[in-house]
Amino acid sequence: MNDFLIILSEKEKGKTSFAHLFKYKKLYKGKKVGHAGTLDKFATGLMIVLIGKATRLNQVFSNLDKSYRAKIKFGEETDTLDPDGKVIRKAELPSKETILSVLPSFKGKIMQAPPEYSAVHIDGERAYKRVQKNEEVKMPEREVEVFDYRVLKIDDCYLDIIFHVSKGTYIRSLARDIGRACGSCARLEELNRLTIGPYSLSEKNLSTMEILEKTDLFSKVRLKTEYRKEIDNGYIISSYILSDSAPEKKYKFLYFDSELYAVAENTSGRLKIIFRLGYGSL
């Protein structure tokens, strides 16, 4: 069972996402340990930790939408766009009315340039490494989506706000761009990840199977038991399948009767096993 684990974990402030995994690497020695979605060192909140064969599902969870509670500080911008960076710009504070007036332009699909201090690859090297070598870095814009936002409070130089965003959205970049749209500048003061897809920290006691069942990314495929030997050898063709609860879905739970046998991916109409489980039934 320890060879396939998914844990909803809370990262504390001041630790890198990599350092947050140390306790799990110590606890599950010899097992591969990863996570689905990096949090900056100053940030807190939900991380999905993947252990053993579950690391093969990294892409599944990384592609989920996310929500964050952010505290944006206006009138100041740092090179890292967070509280730990060097101040590179200062400006007058925008009014509350100005802030509220520009926010709607950041809802929906927008073009966004990631922060220069980020892990995005530029010509084969991570952007932050190039910046650290004093190289000039041009961050290409990419399309992201802000599904919704909710203003909690605007007080003095701070905006307290919740964003619901697509994968790949940088909240640091949102803070920067909102500040500039106000005719000022801004950076993040605090950041807390509240949810990843359907998951939140209020559900951190869920078992691995409960976590998997909670997402709607998987369909249930019933396999014919008389073809188990062929399937064990890596062959899954349409005649081996009894039923598929949602044929259009990319990821599949494969069952022999009530036994969860494997997780598979639909690639070009063919099922490819990501990994076999075979440790019990739901």
pLDDT tens-digit series, residues 138-167 = 888 999 999 999 999 999 899 999 999 999
pLDDT mean over 69-82? 98
Residues 6+ apart with CB under 8 A from 174: 70, 106, 112, 146, 163, 165
pLDDT value of residue 272: 80
**125-126 and 66-74: which strand pairing?**
unpaired
**282 pLDDT higher than 80:** no
Split into its structural domains, the chain has a count of: 3
Name the domain boundary from 155, 175, 206: 206
pLDDT number for residue 278: 54
Residues 25 and 113 in one domain: no
**CA 89, 90, 91 angle in degrees (round to 5)?**
130
Terminal Cα-to-Cα distance of the chain (whole angstroms): 13
CATH of the domain at 123: 3.30.2350.10
Q: How far apart are CA 35 and CA 50, in angstroms?
A: 5
Cα–Cα distance for residue pair 146/36, rounded to 1 Å: 20
pLDDT exceeds 90 at position 126: no
Q: Are 128 and 120 in contact (CB under 8 A)?
A: no
| 10 occurs within a structural domain | yes
Q: Give domain status of residue 135, yes or no.
A: yes
Question: H/E/C letters for each residue in the chain?
Answer: CCCEEEEEEEECCCCCHHHHCHHHHHHCCCCCEEECCCCCCCCEEEEEEEEEHHHHHHHHHHCCCEEEEEEEEECEEECCCCCCCCEEEECCCCCHHHHHHHHHHHCEEEEECCCCCCCCEECCEEHHHHHHCCCCCCCCCEEEEEEEEEEEEEECCEEEEEEEECCCCCHHHHHHHHHHHCCCCEEEEEEEEEEECCEEHHHCCCCHHHHHHHCCCEEEEEECHHHHHHHHCCCCCHHHEEEECCCCCCEEEEEECCEEEEEEEEECCEEEEEEECCCCEC
**Catalytic site positions:** 40
Q: Quick check: is 44 in a domain?
A: yes
pLDDT of 198 reads 95
In terms of pLDDT, which residue wins out, 26 or 118? 26
| Residues 179, 159: Cα–Cα separation, whole Å | 11
| Pair 91, 166 in one domain | yes
- Residue 43: which of 63, 73, 17, 24 has the closest Cα? 17
For the residues 194-223, what does the mean pLDDT come to?
Answer: 90
> Which residue, of 145, 173, 206, is where some domain finishes?
206
pLDDT of residue 135: 79
Q: What digits encode the pLDDT tens for the residues 46-74?
A: 999 999 988 988 988 999 999 999 999 99
Domain enclosing residue 236, as ranges: 218-276
Q: Is residue 77 part of a domain?
A: yes
Say which residue the tokens 């005649």 belong to: 239
The mean pLDDT value of the chain amounts to 90
Query: Which one, of 8, 4, 3, lies nearest residue 211 by Cα?
Result: 8
Rg of the chain's alpha carbons, rounded to an integer? 22
Tell whether 155 and 73 lie within a shared domain: yes
CA 53 to CA 33: how far, in whole Å? 9
Residue 53's pLDDT is 84
Residue 79 and residue 187 in one domain? yes
pLDDT in tens, 222-280: 988 888 888 877 778 787 788 888 888 888 888 888 888 888 888 777 788 877 775 44
